[in-house]
Amino acid sequence: EVQLLESGGGFVRPGKSARLSCAASGFIFSSYAMTWVRQAPGKGLEWVSTVSGGGGNTYYADSVKGRFTISRDNSKNTLFLHMNSLSVEDTARYYCAQNWKIFKSWGQGVLVTVSS
Amino acid sequence: DIQMTQSPSSLSASLGDRVTITCQASQDITNYLNWYQQKPGKPPKLLIYDASNLEAGVPSRFSGSGSGTDFTFTILRLQPEDIATYYCQQYVNLPYTFGQGTRLEIK
């Protein structure tokens, strides 16, 4: 069974940084692209970033490009999202999802609140 | 970016009803469209992929159709556990984009 467990969320001041992690199990992690999707409180879903299985290819939404960095450690079956220069507009629940294009498995998400 | 427009944004229906949600893409996405169900406090759950393929384990009362720019998601015989928000999502091009969601309630 695929399991994805996010961590690292919390309260962050505007302009500061945060790092999210997603621990994966139940599948061959390195064989799958991985994706971050976020959802602002009471709002819809927004694709944030995807990284290829080997980590060499990364893709970002314009809203986070240049501020967020997606990466992965295949030896530890872990996905990361490094978030810099956070703004209140980045307040959301961040989900990691297996694969790209079709998101069959999701974590429970982690809440990031950016506020002064 | 491809815009995905769902209709309606909210819907009230009775148990046993047939429910239909539409999703229109701003450009041709062939059949690169998924449908998700999200219940409060839970992550989205994939129901339909490639416009019309039912994900394993999803009840057969859910179905999807369409191609190009116009898509339809249907629930036959609405059940209490179907109360949720439903999203369409295109993946023909990055950035992958979602519809704004359709909140389904019981009348």
What is the mean pLDDT, run by run of 10 residues, along chain A of 116 residues? 96 97 98 98 97 97 98 98 98 96 97 97
- Rounded to a whole number, what is the distance in Å from the CA of B76 to chain A's nearest CA? 23
- Rounded to a whole number, what is the distance in Å from the CA of A57 to chain B's nearest CA? 13
Q: Would you call B40 an interface residue with chain A, using a CB distance cutoff of 8 Å?
A: no
Q: Would you call B49 an interface residue with chain A, using a CB distance cutoff of 8 Å?
A: yes
Chain B hits for A44, Cβ within 8 Å: 87, 98-101
Return the amino acid letter for B69: T
Between chain A and chain B, the number of residue pairs with CB atoms below 8 A apart is: 50
Cα dihedral: A87, A89, A94, A100 (round 10): -110
Which DSSP string corresponds to A59-114? EE-TTTTTTEEEEEETTTTEEEEEE-S--GGG-EEEEEEESSSS---B---EEEEE
Condensed to tens digits (0 to 9), the pLDDT of residues B42-82 reads: 999 999 999 999 999 999 999 999 999 999 999 999 999 99
Condensed to tens digits (0 to 9), the pLDDT of residues B24-50 reads: 999 999 999 999 999 999 999 999 999
